[in-house]
Each structure stands twice: as structure tokens, then as C-alpha cells.
Amino acid sequence: MSDLVGPSPALSRARLLTVVWLVSAVLSVVLLPLVGVAREPSVLFRTTGLAGVGLLFSTQLLVMWSAVTPWASVSTHHRAQTLFVLAAILSVPSVAPVAVEEWATWAWLGASVLGTAPLLWRWPTVAMVAVATTSTSLAVALVFDGDVLTYGAVTLGIGAGLATINWAPFWMWELLVRADATRQAGARAAAALERNRFGRDVHDVLGHALTVIALKAELAARTAASDPVSSARESEEVRALAETTLGRLRSSLALGREVDLRAELAAMERVLAAAAVRCDLAVQPIEVSPQVAGALSMLLKEATTNVLRHSDAQWCRVELGQEADRVQLSVTNDRPLTTRAATGSGLVGLRARLGAVGGDLSVHHDDGSFRISATVPAGHG
């Protein structure tokens, strides 16, 4: 999943919760080797033990960050894993001799290594790590006259429990990442379908007309010398056809008819639905000029962009109606935008576009919602 972009606001909060859970679980186990460090009478062993525990915990924090950051590069993940493995290996000579007879110091550190393994590797590899850490713990106990049973039970028992505790939030985090990636892919697919639909509409308007214009222009050029009257007639037909085609194209781009504005609303609903955002439409039949319809269409596009890119909204409500000669359009969603989006250039450009047709824009946001609304004269020419 290294090709993913950064997280949405909702995913960022889930990521923070996952990190807090993982760090809390591992920290509770990593603190226990420090009990052995504190009981060690030798200054040298206390120093090496403290260094070994600190180095391993630092690399654990690094691999935890890597595990919940799937959009980081593959090389970043590999470097974090390599540093963690090296720190685990170096912890054996630095921590193993510490307070062996009084406290299973390295056994607790081995349990921490085993508990972190599910964040990095699949379960077959985790099983191999369990065998390696437990064997190392037993060897430390044998070499330094520690309690073999205690060392083995702490490393394997506590390590397996910690692995299960760490795997649960990490598994849920992976599900959230995949769901968010699916949501983004659906929104991109819906937007691509709309672009294709618009392209087909433009092709329908221009394709046949341009072909006829080209043929008539060629005929006018061929008969210019031999039959000036016919050539002039063909040229006039070319001009008239080009003018008609340009009018049709402007009409399509302006979305001047009610059915086109409704199609734009339906397209917005499809795009938001593909992104798992419920969209409620409250639309009254209205008659507006092409310029006004174009400005309202721009508001719908800006609102859709804001909902998808700058908030984590779950629902959106669009209201379109007309009172006397004024048309009102509002879009409300259940999450406030980021400060940058709420004051960005998109809203500035939209306000200028609405002002050009005699309309005005208002924005209201608080802790629970964001609302953007416009009021324009229906018949502005």
C-alpha cells in the first residue's frame, strides 16, 4: 500500500488512536526490564542494560510508525525493520547479564520483541520469531544461571499475549486503510465517468457538425474559381453551421436548461455516493439563464471538491429553490472544513463568479457543520 496518498481527517484520528494503543501496550512491557537494570549492582551492566533497553524501545517506536504509515516508501519500511532487528540482536549482550539471578531482565525484553513482531511480518514469520526469542531467553538463563522456567514463561507467555493485543488494533487499522482506499477509488471512478459523459456530449455536439463544415469548406475552395456563386453559397452555409454549432456548444457548457442543471445535481450525488457520503437533494423546478446556471454549477463543483478533499463528511444536503426572481442554492455537510479550505482560493473564485451574475455567496461553519450558499437573480443576462 505504499502508493497511497496521505490520510483523510477521519483516518488520521484512527491512526493516532492506533499509535497510542500500540505504544501503551509495548511501553508497559519495556518498563519491566528497567526493574532489572535498577537492581543490577554493577555500574557497567546498569549502563549497558539501560542503553540496550533504550535502543530497542527507540526502534520499536520507529517500526510502529512505519506499520501505521502505509503510504511511506518501501525502503523506509525496510530500514525501520532492519534497525529493529539489529537493536534486538544487540540487546542480548548488553542486557542479558543484567540482574539475572534477581530478575528476568532480558526475558521481558524478548517478550517485547515478540509482541512487536505481528506489526512487521506475517504469522509464519512471527512463529519463527517466537521460537528465536524464546530460545535466546532460555540460553541467557542457562549461561548466566537464571531461572529457566521463569525466563521461558515470560518471553513466550507475555510475548504471545502482547502480540495478540498489538495485532488487534493493527488489523483494524489495515481494514480502515483499505476501506479509505476503496472510497477514494470509487470517487475517482465516478468523476472519470462524469468526464467521459461530458466528453461524449461535446463529441455529439461537435463531431457531425465539424465533419460537415470541413466537407463544405473543401467544396467551396474547389468551386471558388469555376462557380463563384456556388462557392459563396457553400461558404455562407459553413458560416451558418459554425454559428449554430457554437451556440449549441455554449449552451452545453453553460448548463442553461433546467434538465442540465438537474443532471449536474445528479452527477454530484453519484460522485458523493461513490465516496460513501450520503447526499440528500431538495430541488424545486426553476428557470434560470445560462450564465446563472453556469455559476450555480461551479458552486456545486466547488462544494463537491470541498467535501471529498477537505473534510470527512458522512452526509451532504443540497437545497435549490426560487423565491420571486431570486434563486437560492445551498450545500451543507456534517463536518467543518479545514481552515485552509474554508478560506482558500476556490471560494474566492466562486464569490467572484457569482458576483459577475449579480449574486452573493455566504459561508457558515462551526464545530458540527459547514454550509455554503448562494443567492442569484434568476434571469440575469
pLDDT of 254 above 60? no
* pLDDT band (50, 70, 90) for residue 345: low
Q: What is the pLDDT of residue 200?
A: 67
pLDDT of 141 above 80? yes
pLDDT of 37 above 70? yes
Dihedral angle sign, alpha carbons of residues 46, 49, 55, 60: negative
In eight-state DSSP terms, residue 122 is -
| Alpha helices by DSSP H, the chain | 9-39, 43-67, 74-95, 105-116, 123-143, 148-153, 159-222, 228-254, 258-274, 290-310, 339-342, 345-356
Q: What is the pLDDT of residue 338?
A: 56
358 dihedral zone (left: phi>0; alpha: psi -120 to 50; beta): left
What residues contact residue 370 under an 8 Å CB cut-off, 6+ apart?
306, 311, 313, 332, 333, 335, 336, 337, 342, 363, 364
Q: What is the pLDDT of residue 203?
A: 66
The larger pLDDT score, comparing residue 160 to residue 301, is at 160
pLDDT of 336 above 80? no
Does the global pTM surpass 0.85? no
Say how far apart CA 253 and CA 204 lie, in whole Å: 13
pLDDT of 135 above 70? yes
What does the pLDDT average to over 115-119?
Answer: 90
Say how far apart CA 314 and CA 100 lie, in whole Å: 56
* pLDDT band (50, 70, 90) for residue 81: very high
Calculate what percentage of the chain has a pLDDT beyond 70.
Answer: 86
* pLDDT band (50, 70, 90) for residue 257: very low
Query: Most confidently modeled of 114-123, 216-225, 242-251?
Result: 114-123
Q: What is the pLDDT of residue 113?
A: 93
C-alpha cell at 277: 457520503
What does the pLDDT average to over 23-37?
Answer: 86
The larger pLDDT score, comparing residue 214 to residue 337, is at 214
